[in-house]
Amino acid sequence: MANALIQGTEEWKDLRRNKIGASDAPVIMEVSPWTTPYQLWQQKMLGTEKKQTASMERGLALEQKARDKFSDIMGLLVAPSVEIHPDHPWMMASLDAKDIEGKCVAEIKCPGKEDHAMAQAGQIPDKYYPQLQHQIAVCQLDKAFYYSFDGEDGILLEVYRDEKYIIKLIEKEYVFWEGMQNLVPPELTVRDYQTKDDDIWSSYASQWIAISGQLKELEKKEKALKEQLISLSQNQNTLGSGIKVSKVLRKGNVDYSKIPELQGVNLESYRKDPIEYWKIAES
Other beta carbons within 10 Å of 189: 12
Cβ atoms of 109 and 59 closer than 8 Å: yes
pLDDT score at 49: 76
The answer to which of 34-38, 52-56, 178-182 has the lowest mean pLDDT is 52-56
Cβ atoms of 5 and 15 closer than 8 Å: yes
CATH code that applies to domain 2-190: 3.90.320.10
Is the pLDDT reported for residue 1 higher than 70?
Answer: no
Rounded Cα–Cα distance for residues 129 and 110 (Å): 16
Average pLDDT score over the chain: 93
Cβ atoms of 274 and 183 closer than 8 Å: yes
pLDDT, one tens digit per residue, over 76-99 is 999 999 999 999 999 999 999 999
The predicted model gives 126-142 an average pLDDT of 98
How far CA 73 is from CA of 66, 95, 147, 241, in Å, comes to 11, 18, 11, 91
Q: Where are the domains of the chain?
A: 2-190, 196-235
pLDDT, one tens digit per residue, over 201-254 is 999 999 999 999 999 999 999 999 999 999 999 999 999 999 999 999 999 999
- What is the band of 2 on the pLDDT scale with cuts at 50, 70, 90? low
pLDDT, one tens digit per residue, over 148-177 is 999 999 999 999 999 999 999 999 999 999
Crossing angle for the helix pair 129-139 and 163-181, nearest 10 degrees? 90
